[in-house]
Each structure stands twice: as structure tokens, then as C-alpha cells.
Amino acid sequence: MSDTLSLDLVVTRKPHRCWGCVETFPKGTKMWRHVGKSDGVLFSTYACEPCQAEMNEACRRDPYLADEGFDQGCVRDWRAEAERQVGGGT
């Protein structure tokens, strides 16, 4: 169980890896910084704008997800899954 303390759109001052797609973005990129607390320990993660939008959308579809939090690489996995569905079926 984790709590969100803040979610801010920031311009990064050093390279950060996106939580959703696991790509590393150079400094000077606009990214969402999520600060949270899990079992009393503060942590912060970064997400690029497209990933944050996808995670927000996923929360709207399934509020349970917002409580659980997202696994690292979740957006990359969703995209891979979507591509499999588009590519298959013939």
C-alpha cells in the first residue's frame, strides 16, 4: 500500500528513467514526478508525459489500479500487448 504525496510536471535537471516505458530521458525533459510513501519510506518516480496520460487513463477505467500502484514498465507492457492484438487475428 502506498500513498501519493505529490504529482508535479517538472523539467528534469538530470536524466531520469520513465516508470511507465523504462526509457531514459535526458535532462531538460518535461516529466511527471510522483512522490509517494510506502511503508513509511519516501520514494519518487518519474514518468514521461505520454506514459502519465496512459496511467491516468488506466486509473479512470479501473480505480482499483490507482490504489495498487503501477509496476515499473507497465506502459511498455500495455503497448506490447496492444501491438500483439493488432498484429494477430488473421
The residue within the footprint of Zn ion, chosen from 32, 34, 46, 51 (CB under 5 A), is: 51
CA distance 81 to 34: 25
Question: In whole angstroms, how close is the CB of 40 to Zn ion at the nearest point?
Answer: 28
Contact segment (CB under 5 A) with Zn ion among 5-13, 17-25, 33-41, 66-74 equals 17-25
Binding of Zn ion by 55 (CB under 5 A): no
Binding of Zn ion by 20 (CB under 5 A): yes
CA distance 64 to 41: 22
Q: How many residues in the chain? A: 90
Binding of Zn ion by 52 (CB under 5 A): no
Helix ranges restricted to H, the chain = 49-61, 63-68, 74-87
